[in-house]
Amino acid sequence: MKISGEMIIGLDCIKGEGKEIKSINPLTNLDVEPGYASAKKNDVNLACSLAWSAFKEYRKTKPEERAKFINTIAENIERLGDVLIDRAILETGLPKARLEGERARTCNQLRLFASIVLEGRHLDLRHDEALPDRAPLPRSDLRYQKIALGPVAVFGASNFPLAFSVAGGDTASALAAGASVVVKAHSAHLGTSELVALAIQNAAKTCRMPSGVFSLLYGSGNDIGAALVNDSRIKAVGFTGSRAGGTALMSIAQKRKEPIPVYAEMSSINPVYLLPKALEYKAIDIAKQFVIAQSMGAGQFCTSPGLIIAINGDGLDAFISECKTLIESSGSQTMLTKGIYNAFKSGVSTLKESGAISTIAQGQNSGGENQCAPILFEASAADFIRLPELSNEVFGAATLVLRCKDFDELLQVTEYLEGQLTGAIHMIDGDEDHARQLIDELELKVGRLLFNGFGTGVEVCDSMVHGGPYPATSDSRTTSVGSTAIDRFLRPLCYQDIPKQILPE
């Protein structure tokens, strides 16, 4: 399949007339052809108008039809083969094996949502039968089911060009819910976005889905994204990216005549607690695991460990000393975009300029473009609470170790933390009392609480929660990964005394 730089609007491919943008190879900082003309407001209007009319038809599709469409998308993505992987490598600098794994995850995710549609689990059907003889008042027949909210706008993530982009978790769960989808492509991987969008468009054609069930628009700067969220026919938004981007879209959505939900996954530093007994007996092992988790994907994961919290003592010293040895002998990796690299540099500078942190260790920088070498800092718990800038997410392989003078101070830090996607506790026998007290606090801060591990690697399954209180996400009642992600794009509807002959199928 060939890319052309055209937008995918319903069943048509349309050349945009706005400003041309190009992806940039982060390994070389050179443009990647072809150019992609940004959408204009009339393209947003067309995509949303088609999405609205398609929605009315698509939400009524039979489970087998909808599941077939979603499964066909997965097949088409697989059929793209190396064309897709090679383009994604060019646009993101990510290694082949990582992208192949991500493609498998993307397709499995689509198939999971197709299976949910077939089972009808998402409908959450409930029935309270009529009680005509109930005194003092009879009860009506009441039936409950969930229906799709309406067309969904999706903003692809830079750090998962497949699994959280055009056909990623947001799109898969929205399509499964019965919503049509308009994606604003991430400007960092335009060709990858087009290829995946063509796979979806072809599936829509093969499965005879209404035109407008899916569209893809390009647009750098904020105008096109803002126009999309402002369009009255869009009824919900899925977003993964920066806190600034997510909160900007939340604000637009709230100011609309009809405010709509924005499910934004934004910023998290994912605290990791090392409890005293675990540090006494396992400091070196934990350090080894941590250094691997920290540098994975150059730390460009929303669940990357950005904060380590422990009580001052020999165990913590041993942990830090092992980390220092391992990090100083480690190399650097290319970041996804120049913008992300610049944000990493500026985040590190802000930490250093606070005057409250010391650098424990830094990896070797290869000197190539957009390189991130892992870096480990240390600060006191008191300074962390005093200086809000120490809590900011530094997207990349940067981690701050907090030395607490005692367990009470460790709990104080926890109470001070903002909402997080994950919290990890390293413990062994003998740490239970501390762990129980910590869990009571951490449950209020995180979406996923994990033990003796690190949050990187998010399983797509029924029990997964990839969410958490603000600013981890804009709505802590939901998850953007796992089967219940579909609930974001559904709402409950009750039928009272509906005649049997017109009951929805």
Interface with ligand NAP (CB under 6 A): 155, 157-159, 184, 186-187, 220-222, 225-226, 240-242, 245, 248-249, 265-268, 302, 339-340, 343, 393, 395
Measured N-to-C along each axis, helices 169-177 and 63-79 cross at an angle, to the nearest 10 degrees, of: 160
For the bound state, the minimum distance from the C-beta of residue 145 to ligand NAP, rounded and expressed in Å, comes to 33
For the bound state, the minimum distance from the C-beta of residue 303 to ligand NAP, rounded and expressed in Å, comes to 8
End-to-end Cα, the chain, rounded Å: 39
Nearest CB to ligand NAP, comparing residues 329 and 349: 349
262-265 vs 236-240, strand pairing mode:
parallel
126-128 vs 30-37, strand pairing mode:
unpaired
**302 in catalytic set:** yes
Nearest CB to ligand NAP, comparing residues 395 and 454: 395
Nearest CB to ligand NAP, comparing residues 323 and 373: 373
Q: Cα–Cα distance between 8 and 200 in angstroms, integer? A: 10
At 119, is the secondary structure helix, strand, or coil? Answer: helix
**265 in catalytic set:** yes
For the bound state, the minimum distance from the C-beta of residue 372 to ligand NAP, rounded and expressed in Å, comes to 11
For the bound state, the minimum distance from the C-beta of residue 306 to ligand NAP, rounded and expressed in Å, comes to 10
Nearest CB to ligand NAP, comparing residues 268 and 391: 268
Nearest to 117 by CA among 467, 477, 489: 489
Query: Of 48, 207, 302, 323, which is the active-site residue?
Result: 302
Q: Which residues contact 455 (CB under 8 A, 6 or more apart)?
A: 270, 303, 304, 305, 421, 422, 424, 448
- Side chain identity at 340, as an amino acid letter? I
Q: Cα–Cα distance between 39 and 212 in angstroms, integer? A: 16
For the bound state, the minimum distance from the C-beta of residue 268 to ligand NAP, rounded and expressed in Å, comes to 6
Contact present, 300 and 335 (Cβ < 8 Å): yes
For the bound state, the minimum distance from the C-beta of residue 336 to ligand NAP, rounded and expressed in Å, comes to 8
132 class by beta-carbon count within 10 Å (0-12 exposed, 13-18 middle, 19+ buried): exposed
Q: Where are the alpha helices (DSSP H) in 425-470?
A: 432-442
Nearest to 300 by CA among 94, 41, 82: 94
Nearest CB to ligand NAP, comparing residues 193 and 362: 193
At 24, is the secondary structure helix, strand, or coil? Answer: strand
Query: Of 102, 194, 265, 322, which is the active-site residue?
Result: 265
- 504 cis-preceded (ω within 30 degrees of 0): no
User: Six-digit token pair at 191?
Assistant: 């060709």
Q: What residues act catalytically?
A: 265, 302
